[in-house]
């Protein structure tokens, strides 16, 4: 009987301890766990106006640009936003000139970067001028001649030139010695001319170096490429409403007027002209002409972003347009 009692007592005690232990765990658990609730409201505020301008260009490069001819290039700004804007353009020119030309013993030499191209349209095949043909002419070489003078007795004096035909249909310059032997023309001392590479580019950023650097670039090229401005929309003497004006103080072209949403400025440029006296070797020169567009909203504080001097002709002309032209 006593044993049974003791067992019951131990059993109740175990249940009591278990109950207390569970209670303790529950209390401890409630100390380290909880439920949270959160809510968020994000209020976004933005100006009604969308500011965006786009540089518009019309340009088709001429891969066979001949001296004396022009290439069309038009450049203007378009307001693609929802607020009035004022805009400006500036240019950068980078000119690379080839080293050389230098002679090679054979065409297609690995050192040739760009051959010197030549014209052959005003010459005749030399072989047709000599009944016996030509000697000493390697494969791929074309020898041309142009009559210079008819001598007494009906004989002629010719100017000779040799060319190597390239894969693209143009001709590489070749020098040689020519010796008429009766009705046969002997060709010797043949040298093919080309370029081994390009010198460091001469770069002129109009906004940074101003036209003095352009003058240096022009001196290097002999002013072979002329920039043609749209005279109807460009006034280089003083700012005029509705026209572009060049500001020598910062090297930029400013459009004097507010550009409304959906409007274009007139084109600043018409194109480029390659000088009529450009030598054939000029075909190896590479000129990169880059146009940059910047714009700000048509408001006096925004105009301060361009660091124009208050009181300057361009600043006052723009302010006049911003304030309504009153």
Tell me the pLDDT of the chain averaged across its residues: 75
Tell me what the mean pLDDT of segment 217-234 comes to.
Answer: 74
Distance CA 316, CA 299 (A): 13
pLDDT value at residue 262:
94
Residue 102 burial by CB count (10 A; 0-12/13-18/19+): exposed, middle or buried?
A: middle
Distance CA 230, CA 223 (A): 19
pLDDT value at residue 12:
34
If we measure between CA atoms, which residue out of 164, 172, 109 comes closest to residue 137? Answer: 164
Tokens representing 91? Answer: 């240019």
Distance, CA of 253 to chain centre: 18
Element of type H or E holding 301: helix 300-303
pLDDT value at residue 3:
31
Digit-coded pLDDT (tens) for 124-156: 888 887 778 899 998 888 898 887 766 666 567
Digit-coded pLDDT (tens) for 249-288: 888 999 999 999 999 999 999 988 887 777 665 666 777 8
CB-CB neighbours of 289 under 10 Å? 16
Least confident of 51-65, 286-300, 309-323: 51-65
- Selected residue with higher pLDDT from 33 and 190: 190
Residue % of the chain over a pLDDT of 90:
22
pLDDT value at residue 23:
34
Distance CA 125, CA 317 (A): 64
pLDDT value at residue 273:
84
224: alpha, beta or left? (left if phi > 0; alpha if psi -120 to 50): alpha
Q: Is the pLDDT of residue 198 over 60?
A: yes
> Helix (H, G, I), strand (E, B), or coil: what is residue 40?
coil
pLDDT value at residue 11:
32
Digit-coded pLDDT (tens) for 286-308: 778 889 999 999 988 888 888 88
- Selected residue with higher pLDDT from 66 and 227: 227
Tell me what the mean pLDDT of segment 111-124 comes to.
Answer: 67
Distance CA 19, CA 209 (A): 90
pLDDT value at residue 282:
65
Asked if 81 contacts 261 with a C-beta cutoff of 8 angstroms, the reply is: yes
Residue boundaries of the structural domains of the chain: 53-97+199-322, 102-194
What pTM, to 2 d.p., does this model score?
A: 0.64
């Amino acid at each position: 009987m006593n044993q049974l009692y003791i067992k019951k007592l131990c059993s109740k005690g175990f249940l009591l301890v278990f109950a207390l232990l569970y209670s303790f765990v529950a209390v401890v658990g409630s100390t380290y766990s909880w439920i949270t609730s959160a809510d968020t409201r994000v209020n976004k505020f933005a100006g009604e106006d969308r500011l965006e301008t786009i540089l518009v260009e019309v340009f088709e490069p001429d891969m066979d640009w001949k001296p004396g001819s022009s290439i069309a290039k038009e450049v203007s700004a378009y307001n693609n936003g929802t607020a009035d804007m004022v805009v400006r353009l500036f240019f950068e020119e980078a000119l690379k000139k080839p080293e050389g030309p230098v002679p090679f013993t054979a065409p297609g030499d690995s050192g040739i970067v760009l051959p010197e191209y030549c014209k052959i349209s005003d010459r005749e095949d030399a072989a047709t001028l000599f009944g016996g043909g030509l000697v000493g002419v390697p494969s791929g070489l074309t020898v041309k001649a142009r009559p210079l003078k008819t001598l007494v007795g009906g004989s002629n004096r010719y100017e000779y030139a040799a060319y190597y035909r390239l894969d693209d249909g143009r001709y590489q310059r070749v020098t040689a010695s020519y010796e008429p032997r009766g009705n046969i023309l002997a060709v010797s001392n043949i040298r093919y001319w080309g370029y081994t590479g390009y010198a460091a580019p001469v770069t002129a950023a109009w906004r940074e170096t101003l036209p003095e650097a352009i003058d240096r670039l022009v001196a290097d090229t002999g002013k072979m490429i002329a920039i043609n401005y749209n005279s109807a929309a460009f006034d280089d003497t003083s700012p005029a409403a509705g026209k572009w004006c060049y500001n020598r103080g910062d090297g930029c072209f400013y459009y004097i007027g507010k550009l409304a949403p959906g409007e274009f400025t007139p084109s600043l440029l018409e194109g480029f002209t390659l000088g009529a006296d450009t030598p054939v070797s000029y075909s190896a020169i590479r000129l990169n002409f880059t146009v940059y567009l910047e714009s700000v909203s048509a408001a006096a504080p925004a105009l301060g972003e361009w660091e124009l001097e208050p009181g300057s002709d361009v600043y006052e002309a723009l302010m006049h347009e911003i304030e309504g032209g009153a």
